[in-house]
A and B are shown apart, each in its own frame.
Chain A
Amino acid sequence: MSTDTDDSVLLEIRDLRIDGFSDERWHEIIKGVDLTLRRGQVMGLIGESGAGKSTLGLAAMGFARPGCRLTSGSIRFDGVELMDAPESEKRKLWGSRICYVAQSAAASFNPAHRLIEQTTEAALSHGLQSGAEAQAAARELYRAMQLPNPDTIGDRYPHQVSGGQLQRAMTAMAMASKPDLIIFDEPTTALDVTTQVGVLAAMRSVVEQFNTAAIYITHDLAVVAQMADVIKVLRFGETMEDAPTREMLSAPKHPYTKSLWSVRALQKEAEKSDDIVLDVRSVDAAYGSSKVLHDVSVRVPRGKTVAVVGESGSGKSTTARVITGLLPPSAGKVFFNGQALPAALRDRSVEQLRQIQMIYQSADTAMNPRHTVGDIIGRPLEFYHGLRGAAKQKRVLELLQLIELDGNFIDRLPGELSGGQKQRICIARALAAEPDVIICDEVTSALDQIVQEGILKLLLRLQKELGVTYVFITHDIAVVKAISDEIVVMLEGRVVQQDIKDHVLSPPQPEYTRRLLASVPEMDPDWLTRLLEEQADVVARADGD
C-alpha cells in the first residue's frame, strides 16, 4: 500500500506498440513509446489530435479501445504486467486502482441516476466500502472538489448541475475508490475559461491531497503547465520530448516542441476605423419566452476584425444569429452599409444573403458529409455567381489555392480531411460568395494549437489581401489578441464594453473584463497558484471591509 512519502515507480511502459484498424488494414498508431510514472507524480501528455494521446492514456490501463490492439511492449502497473493479463484481472484494477476521467462529463454520466449513486458505484461493486461509508466518502470528496452544498449535491441528477460541476463530480467519482492512478483525458477542454480555473484548482488539490499519480492528456499547453510535474510531447505515435515542466517550458529542445510553444506569439496591430459596414443597434432577442439579448449594440468597421468574447450563455452566438437573420430580433435593427436589413432570413434578398457569410465552430457538422469538397465550394459559386462547368472548376481550384490546399482535394469527402483542413474548406466556402462580412463562430476552438495558428494566419492574410471584415466570436483570449482590432465583451446578454483591442486588454477595465482576462491560462507553471492567491486576497479584503 502506498504511503505519502513513497515515490517508487508506479507505472512503467516499455517500447509499447499499438495498431489501429482502418480502411481494411492495421496501421501502427503508437510506435514504441516508453513512459515512467512515479507515485504522486502528474504527467502531462500533449500533442495534436491523432498523435495517439488518448490511445496511450487508455493503454496505461491495459485497455485497447475497439478497433485497436496492443501488439508488443510491456505495461507494468505496480509490478503487475497488464499486457497479457486476463480481462478479469484488469477489471479488478479498473475503477478501484486505476480510474479514468473522460472529456465530456455530460456524456459519461447516466442521466437516469443521481450523482451520488454513480460516484459510489465503483467502490461498492469492488466491495471496497459499505454503502453508508461510500456515501460519506463521496460527500467528503465533493467538499474536496469544492462543489457547492457538498452534503446534498449528490442527490441531484446530472442535468441539474452545471458543466463545471459535473466535471468535478466526475473527478470525485474517479477519486472515490482512492486509486493509485487517474487518467484525465482532456477534462477541461469543454469548459469556459472562468469555469476551467476552478476545476483545475480542485483537481490539483485533490490529486496532491491523496498522493495520486495522474496522466493528464490535453492539447492546451497552458493548462498542462499548471497541472503536470513532467511533460511528454507526442507526435505521430512517437515521443518527441520528455522533460520536467519548468525545463520544458523554459528550454524546449526538439524543433517540434518549439513550434508548439511559439503558437501563442501571434499578434496583430489594432487599427481604429470609423467606416462602419455592419451596425447592430440596440437589439433585444428571445428564444420563446426567455430573453437572451438585452439592448445589444455592436459596430463593425469595414475591413477590420471585431472579436466578441464572453462565457458560454453570454449571448455571443445569439448575436450572430440575429445578424444572419436566423433569429429575428424582438426590438432593434441591424444595418448593413447604412441600410436596415430585413429582420427575418426569408425576407432578405439573395444579394443581401451573399454579403454576410458564416463559418461555424464545428467544421464536422458544417459540411454535408455526402458532398465532395468540389461540391461544397462550388455550390455558392453556382448559386450566387452563376458559374458552371469549367469556369466553376477553375474558381474552385483558385479558392483551394487561396486556402493553401491543392487540387487533389477537390473530390475528397469531408470525412477524409483533418480538422484544420475541414475548417479551411469552410473558409473557402464562405469566400466563394465574395462576402463583405464573415461571421466566425468559435472557428478555432475545436482545433489543436498548431492548427489554430495556421487558420488564424490564413484569416489574417485573407483580410489583408481581400479586405474582408470579420466578426469573430470566441472565448479564447489568445485568439482575440492574435486577430482582433476591436473587442466586444459580453456578459449575460449585455455588452459590457466595446473598444479597440489595446483599451480593452489594459486597465482601467470594467470588473468583468478584468476577471475574464485573468482566467486565461498562461504558459507559466505558477500562474494558477498566483491567481488563486490573488482571488483569496480579494475575498479576504472583501471580508475585512
Chain B
Amino acid sequence: MSESDQGYSAVAEAGSVLERRSLWLRAWLELRKAPVSAWIGLVIIVSYVIVAVFAPWIAPYGEAEVHPQPYAPWGGDFIFGTDQIGRDVFTRLIYGARNTVGIAFVTTIIAFLMGGGLALAAAVRGGWIDQVLSRFVDVLMAIPNLIFALMLLSMFGSSLINIIMIIAILDSTRVFRLTRAVAMNVVVMDYVEAARLRGESIGWVMRREILPNILPPLVAEFGLRFCFVFLTIAALSFLGVGIQPPTADWGSMVRENAGLIQFAQYDIKAAITPLLPAGAIALLTVGVNFVVDWFLHKTSGLRDEH
C-alpha cells in the first residue's frame, strides 16, 4: 500500500490485515499473556486428564482389589491407607478421576448436544416451536435440580445410563436458555437473512451461520456446566444413588469413609482420608473456573488498559 498514491483503488483501501498465524502460534501467544491463575487452572486440568487416561498404569493396585486389612493406616504398602473393606484409597482416588471426570464429561457433551441443538432450532425457527420448547424448559427448570434428579433416579434406578441421561436432560435446560439467548442476537444479523434469502436449509443456517459466532460463550458455559454436572454426580454418589460400587467414585468415597473424621483426635491422617476425594473434587472445580474466567475475559472483548 503506497501512501503517495493519490488515485483511488479498491485494493489499496486501508483495511487492517492481520498477520496470518497458525493456530498453534496464536494459542501460544494467548497463553503467554494469560494470567497466573489461568496457568494454574490449565496445569490442574492437564494433570487430571493424564491421571484419568493412564489410571491403570499409575495406580499401584486394581480398582476393586480387596486387601486383607480394612482401615489400614497411611504409609507402608498403602500410601493413603485402605477403606472399610480393605481397598487401597490411593488407587481408588486415581480410578475415581477416570470415572467421575469421564462420566461428567460425557454427560456435559450430551447436555450440550441436546440443549444447544434444540435452542438453535428454536432461535432460527421462532414462532410456536420456540414457544413450546421454551415453555417446556421453563417447566423443567422450575423444579429444583437435585431433588428432581433424586426423584427420577429412584423411579428409573441408578444405572450408569440413567444417571448420565437424567443429569444430561436436566442440565440441557440451562444450556438451552443460554444458547437461545446468544443465538437470538445472531439470528437478527443480515448475514442470516442473506442465507435465508439464498434458500439455505435450517440445518445449514444453524451450523454454518450461527454456531461459529456463538462458540465463545458456549465454550465458557461448557466449562462451568462441566463443573456443575461433576458436582451433581458427586452429590448423588454421596447420597448413595449415584455411581454404584464397586466402581470407584469420589462422591461415594467421601460417604464411605466419612465416619473416619471422628477419629481426628487419635489419628489425624485417618481423619483426612475422606477429605482427599472431596479435595480432588474441589481442586478440579477451581481449576476449570480459573480457565473459564480467563477465557470469558478474553472473548468478551474486555481489555485491561496497559
Contact = CB atoms under 8 A, between A and B. Distances in A.
Contacts of B14: 48, 50, 236, 418
Contact of B29 (A24, A256, A324): A24
Interface stretch (B69-77, B155-163, B195-203): B195-203
A370 B191 CA distance: 11
B213 A358 contact: no
Interface residues of B, number: 31
Contacts of A325: 197
Contact of B213 (A362, A370, A419, A451): A370
A369 B8 contact: no
Given A259-B8, A366-B190, A451-B13, A358 B212 contact: no
Interface string B288-306: 0000000000000001010
A450 interface: yes
A324 B190 CA distance: 14
A446 interface: no
Interface stretch (B15-23, B80-88, B237-245): B15-23
Interface stretch (A183-191, A400-408, A460-468): A400-408
B6 interface: yes
B190 A421 contact: no
B27 interface: no
Given A326-B197, A362-B190, A380-B198, A368 B15 contact: no
B130 interface: no
A477 interface: no
Contacts of A379: 198
A331 interface: no
B197 A353 contact: yes
Interface in B180-234: 189-191, 193-194, 196-200, 208-209, 212-213
A416 interface: yes
Contact of A366 (B10, B191, B303, B305): B191
A355 to B, nearest CB: 12
B7 interface: yes
Contacts of B213: 368-370
B303 to A, nearest CB: 7
Contacts of B190: 360, 362, 365-366
Contacts of B303: 66-67
A512 interface: no
Nearest to B6: A255
A427 to B, nearest CB: 11
B8 A454 contact: yes
A255 B5 CA distance: 10
Contact of B191 (A48, A367, A417): A367
B142 interface: no
A290 interface: no
Contact of A23 (B6, B13, B18, B197): B18
Given A259-B7, A412-B17, A424-B10, A366 B198 contact: no
Interface of B: 3, 6-11, 13-19, 29, 189-191, 193-194, 196-200, 208-209, 212-213, 303, 305
5 contacts: A236-B14, A353-B198, A368-B209, A412-B17, A421-B15
Given A370-B213, A417-B15, A450-B8, 13 more contacts: A50-B14, A325-B197, A348-B199, A360-B190, A366-B194, A367-B191, A368-B191, A371-B212, A383-B199, A416-B16, A418-B14, A418-B15, A454-B10
